[in-house]
Amino acid sequence: MSSDVISRYKKAKQIIESGKDAFVSKYDCKNTVGEVIELYSHLKPGESKQESISICGRIIAIRKHGKLTFADIRDQTGDIQLYLDKKRIGDIYDFFDLLDIGDWISIEGYPIRTARGEFSIMVDKVALLTKSLRPLPEKWHGLKDKEVRYRYRYLDLISNPKVKETFTKRSKIINLIRQFLISEGFMEFETPMLQSIPGGATAKPFKTHHDTLDMDLFLRIAPELYLKRLIIGGYEKVFELNRNFRNEGISYRHNPEFTMLEVYQAFVDYREMMNLTQKIILYIMDNLVEDKKISYLENEIDINPPWREMTVLNSIEKFAGVKLSFEMTRNKVSKIADEIGVNFDEKLGVGGIINRIFEKKVENKIIQPTFITDYPKEVSPLAREHSKNPNLTERFELFIGGIEIANAFSELTDPLDQRIRFEQQLCTEEIETEMDEDFIRALEYGMPPTGGLGIGVDRLVMIMTDSASIRDVILFPHMRSKKE
RNA sequence: GAGCCGUUAGCUCAGCUAGGUAGAGCGUCAGACUUUUAAUCUGAGGGUCGCAGGUUCGAUCCCUGCACGGCUCACCA
């Protein structure tokens, strides 16, 4: 045990032995720091106001000057300086000597602006609410060790104001998405996280087992197939904003559990989903930032509409410099892929290879908000075939800052076509799965024309908080367990 | 899964190229101090140098393995 911790335990013991509680159950604070600053910060240097206020907060700095002590405390609304004068408060002053940075306290006093101009509380009473037994990271350099920051995120939140800002923003973004969709007449539903056939995307699922039913279950990789059942059931505007789980690689934009928004609306197509995507993001921007320009990593991003729109093929031509078409032979396309150094699975057809080229050569180059359209049917098993080209689907993805943010399509409502697509998928898929007969059955009862949209919420938060890694927008990213 | 890098005091970091059992700043502890805000001044304490082996008279330093982490790649519609 370090000397810092020993010294804090000693102080706690001393406090308890003096008959005080070191971990009290409650305290009714009259004021918050933010409130007090708002009400009284107009005071001029040397002025005070004889009005009693009480605040609860954590001590974040102490500056002792003999018979005078300055300390800073923080609550959720801000920081404020305490001014303690031994001559005024005697025993209470001595008690404060036993307190450390990190302790939670309540104080009573009155507002004053010091001669030096710092707005403060002249303290009359101090009570300890919770004794902190471990020293917080040093304030000047903060906490930098990424392992410690991720493992003990609460320390990160205390030490690094920017981190706290990021997660505050995240909370607001989630709230704004719900607010917007509900105001547009959508209803939020919760569909199964435990699924017997993991569907709605192609990804390796986490597997688990239900003992009573004695059946294997999978954590969902997407809610899609259940939300569509709600459309079949007669709800016309639905969404779900919650976690998905994919048992795959971890990267700056992949986390095994991540937050996804899925929206479905009856009687509209992917074009309307495009409008909706733009409206959701602009609504968030309007409520979070002053103008519609954000900087992400090294780039300035202009969110002002209209956003660029480009087909998969055009974007490949622009960013990879090769001209492709879906009418080319597989041989020709695979040769071009080889030439530009894109490797691919041998099972892929023309559409699959083109999609692979897009992913490898184009995606991360699309910085400004851009809708990419005309995705190959081969890689879109749940999307409706394009009305003008049987090789394509009515689908788009939105890219911002080189990251895929959204994916949407006119949903495939034809159960016969859906069965064929699933069968094709089962042939090429390496992941062991089976035909989702129950979903086909649901389609057979009739799904109205429907537009569907998925937004990767973590990624959207990354863009809006200038975060380079998804781990910087997920509070408690997964880590291997470490024996202390 | 692969490659590269990292792990030294509570925190942020030096030290290792020359192998001889470790340093700084902040924090902590003791003392001084009635206007500080990275307070200041004086003094003190604080380390299994990630873990385990190997080489060596001697290893924080060189070698091997392991653990954990970071970054990049691979995987991933």
Tens digits of per-residue pLDDT, A323-368?
999 999 999 999 999 999 898 888 889 999 999 999 999 999 999 9
Taking the C1' atom of every nucleotide in all shown strands and the CA of A425, the nearest one is B77
Taking the C1' atom of every nucleotide in all shown strands and the CA of A248, the nearest one is B76
Report CA torsion sign: A340, A343, A347, A353: negative
User: What Å value separates CA A465 and C1' B39?
Assistant: 35
3-class DSSP state of A424: helix
Which residue has the least CA–C1' distance to nucleotide B10?
Answer: A135
Taking the C1' atom of every nucleotide in all shown strands and the CA of A199, the nearest one is B77
Taking the C1' atom of every nucleotide in all shown strands and the CA of A134, the nearest one is B10
In order, the DSSP letters of A323-371 are: ---TTS-HHHHHHHHHHTT----TT--HHHHHHHHHHHHTGGG--S-EE
Taking the C1' atom of every nucleotide in all shown strands and the CA of A136, the nearest one is B10
Distance CA A283, CA A286 (A): 5
pLDDT score at A418: 95
User: What Å value separates CA A65 and C1' B28?
Assistant: 18
pLDDT score at A289: 83
pLDDT score at A430: 62
Pairing of strands A385-386, A215-219: unpaired
Q: What is the ipTM of this complex?
A: 0.90
- B chain positions with any atom within 7 Å of a protein CB: 1, 6, 9-13, 25-29, 32-40, 45-46, 67-77
Q: Residue A384, class by beta-carbon neighbours within 10 Å (0-12 exposed, 13-18 middle, 19+ buried)?
A: buried
Give every residue of chain A whose pLDDT is below 70, as ranges: 429-432, 483-484
User: What Å value separates CA A146 and C1' B55?
Assistant: 35
Are A328 and A350 in contact by the 8 Å Cβ rule? The answer is: yes
Distance CA A71, CA A121 (A): 10
pLDDT score at A484: 45
Are A91 and A124 in contact by the 8 Å Cβ rule? The answer is: no
Are A104 and A133 in contact by the 8 Å Cβ rule? The answer is: no
**Cα-only R_g, chain A:** 29
Q: What's the token pair of residue A390?
A: 């049987």
pLDDT score at A166: 95
User: What Å value separates CA A361 and C1' B67?
Assistant: 37
Distance CA A311, CA A332 (A): 20
User: What Å value separates CA A479 and C1' B21?
Assistant: 34
Distance CA A374, CA A213 (A): 43
Q: What's the token pair of residue A185?
A: 């007449």
Q: What is the value of pTM for the model shown?
A: 0.94
Which residue has the least CA–C1' distance to nucleotide B50?
Answer: A484
